[in-house]
Structure 1
């Protein structure tokens, strides 16, 4: 008799992302610049580092399974109640819990083709079906098409990121509020705001806007610079958030992570300084793309998507050539977004390494003839 369920046996043994460490082992190199995972090279608040170091000394004890202090601090930060918050192992972990709660075999989850792939991973792992909507011609997620598809399929979940990964694009808050208002009551909107700290204020509906079928996700991984700590949170109506307690790993957030997030949240001056550094670095990356003949997309994140001017095959060849030169970047995996490469902002020395690697890759890789003529 088989040891595992039919669903488990049907799934590929895969992960949504191939990490830079795996690429280094596979390629036999060491990356000199790590610009592919949308981490913040500017690091966490020194207060967070000190708090985590102090908490490490007491890590013989489990962290508070109710995350009481952290939830109350987040609630105060946003002007909502602690009952509206659940904290977990980053947005990835919390998305997994929501999908487990809301979608099973026979259910449909709607997302954009080429959007954040961890959603697809969790949906497949829970036996639900994925339905994809193409991006608009301007490389924005198509809110009208997502809404129509959710209605037509009677989707249990609709995933939408604002600002978006992998394009860096964003919608204004009024458009997002319309999506929230017009979504069928039977469909939960998973609103991923991982890059919300970096977005224009006009892109974010007020956190006080709540619906039973709305769950918003935030993280300490991006602007707060704590990707390796694995800490994020979801916000929603109290009854909706209470459902997470039925399935979450109650000891999943360590005492170290809780202490670090608390300290990071208290240091808004450091956050503002980091956001300023990210915006300046984002501008410099866009200039590098333009100098090298690529088209940078406007971005409200800590990365810049760059249109390489060809197709997915051409962009992949450029990507491979850049990786071989010791610079870790990524590219979207689905057409037509796969004509781009995606580069995380870094320090000046990181950008210099990337610009040199990109220039050498462009000289090495032949551009498709049709694209050359069109240009």
Structure 2
């Protein structure tokens, strides 16, 4: 009680707004004047840029959706994860690494980079490893984009890239898809028009699964304006036909390519990606990257995955088989599967985005997690990840009911 009395009878002046936190600040025994002062404080003092940004995420994760619906999905076919899984050798390497998880990861990713140099035939100084392509996108945008800087992408392309550009104050300029493909010529023309510092192009594309020949992208570089960097996202390129990977000279300063272990290698949860570019740009990442951001077990798993190309070949065969089955399921329901060079298939639902959203909602209601493009006219489609027979059977069973519900304007529960 003495402590309380002394607080009530001896009131300090209001603290300076930069003063450190005091444990008694939140005490209900503080006098009314102090409480009014605290109520008027506006802390933390966010930057104007941060205040202008929405508190949103590029994607709502499947776990979030499962919590909202009160149960797990029967088939997880919406996040373009490789449900066939990583190499057993990668799993073993990660398990073994857990005994030394008390250590930080190697800040230079030395062993993994050495393996990648052999895989790609480039020098170590041409490779940067990071926390998935998403992490590397953030670092690249931080290096290049400031408030008001122009950046070009396709309307409906990877939203996480847009998220990073907005987060650093860049101005996004979007061009439409052309026949469900990202259009390099239009992207580069827009870059010239707005003096863009950065252009984003995914090959193969997400969310449509379309692709360009790599040689055509290299030829189109003649249209890229001087001073503009092409960010070529090749997350799905291992799944694509021969010749899809762009044969870019590693010392060409106009291009940076990004690859991931999240798709064909089946390690989305490990968060490992890497960039391929000329040495100066790769070195610049050291100015801004989290040098100890890589998980030690993930480094070990990625190294083992690179060294197990037989497993990669096996998985690519499974993906090809699954793409064919998804196309067959679509056809059996009167829908059209678009050609795909990825580990997913976009299915044209034959109407507009509202109808496709109704189909998606009805699938989710039956425990089948899928996603859809978010920009018209691509949003006439739903996007279904490749997976094993059991997951695709669940999709095949749910799709006719979902289409029936969407066409009738009813929900799945109303149809039961």
Query: 2:287 & 2:74 partners in 1: Cα distance?
Result: 44
Query: 1:365 & 1:61 partners in 2: Cα distance?
Result: 53
Match of 1:283 among 315, 319, 324: 324
Query: 1:216 & 1:196 partners in 2: Cα distance?
Result: 11
Mapped contact 2:256–2:275 kept (Cα < 8 A): yes
Aligned to 2:151: 109
Query: 1:154 & 1:310 partners in 2: Cα distance?
Result: 37
Mapped contact 1:78–1:207 kept (Cα < 8 A): no
Mapped contact 2:218–2:248 kept (Cα < 8 A): no
Match of 1:119 among 151, 161, 166: 161
Mapped contact 1:52–1:260 kept (Cα < 8 A): yes
Mapped contact 2:344–2:385 kept (Cα < 8 A): yes
Q: Give the superposition deviation at 1:367.
A: 6.9
Mapped contact 1:79–1:208 kept (Cα < 8 A): no
Structure 1: which 5+ residue stretches go unaligned? 369-375
Aligned to 1:8: 50
Correspondence list, 1:239-250, <5 A: 239-250=280-291
- The answer on 1:260 being equivalent to 2:301 is yes
Correspondence list, 1:361-372, <5 A: 361-366=402-407
Aligned to 1:86: 128
Q: Give the superposition deviation at 1:26.
A: 1.3
SS, match of residue 64 in structure 2: helix
- The answer on 1:64 being equivalent to 2:106 is yes
Aligned to 1:306: 347
Mapped contact 1:314–1:367 kept (Cα < 8 A): no
Match of 2:364 among 301, 323, 331: 323
Q: Give the superposition deviation at 1:365.
A: 1.5
Q: Give the superposition deviation at 1:179.
A: 2.6
- The answer on 1:165 being equivalent to 2:206 is yes
SS, match of residue 132 in structure 1: strand
Mapped contact 1:108–1:130 kept (Cα < 8 A): yes
Mapped contact 1:111–1:131 kept (Cα < 8 A): yes
Match of 1:98 among 140, 148, 151: 140
User: Which one has a bigger Cα radius of gyration?
Assistant: 2
Query: 1:335 & 1:204 partners in 2: Cα distance?
Result: 27
**Consecutive aligned runs of 4 or more in structure 1 exceeding 3 Å deviation:** 207-210
Q: Which has the higher contact order (CA 8 A, sep 6+)?
A: 1
Bigger shift: residues 97-106 or 359-368: 359-368
SS, match of residue 165 in structure 1: coil
- Report the RMSD for the aligned CA atoms in angstroms: 1.1
Match of 2:74 among 27, 32, 50: 32
Query: 2:206 & 2:105 partners in 1: Cα distance?
Result: 31
Query: 1:257 & 1:348 partners in 2: Cα distance?
Result: 28
Q: Taking structure 2 as the reference length, what is the TM-score of the superposition?
A: 0.87
Query: 2:226 & 2:99 partners in 1: Cα distance?
Result: 47
Structure 2: which 5+ residue stretches go unaligned? 1-41, 410-416
Q: Give the superposition deviation at 1:7.
A: 0.5
Mapped contact 1:89–1:252 kept (Cα < 8 A): yes
Mapped contact 1:331–1:342 kept (Cα < 8 A): yes
Query: 2:356 & 2:130 partners in 1: Cα distance?
Result: 35
- The answer on 1:52 being equivalent to 2:94 is yes
Query: 1:354 & 1:258 partners in 2: Cα distance?
Result: 34
SS, match of residue 201 in structure 1: coil
Query: 1:193 & 1:204 partners in 2: Cα distance?
Result: 7
Match of 2:388 among 347, 350, 354: 347
Change (3 A) 1:308 1:95: same
Q: Give the superposition deviation at 1:311.
A: 0.4
Tell me the matched-pair count. 367
Query: 2:251 & 2:378 partners in 1: Cα distance?
Result: 32
Q: Give the superposition deviation at 1:211.
A: 1.4
The superposition leaves residues 182-207 of structure 1 with CA deviations (integer Å, 9 ceiling, x where unpaired) of: 31231111100000111112111225
Aligned to 1:213: 254
SS, match of residue 243 in structure 2: helix
Mapped contact 2:126–2:250 kept (Cα < 8 A): no
Aligned to 1:270: 311
SS, match of residue 275 in structure 2: strand
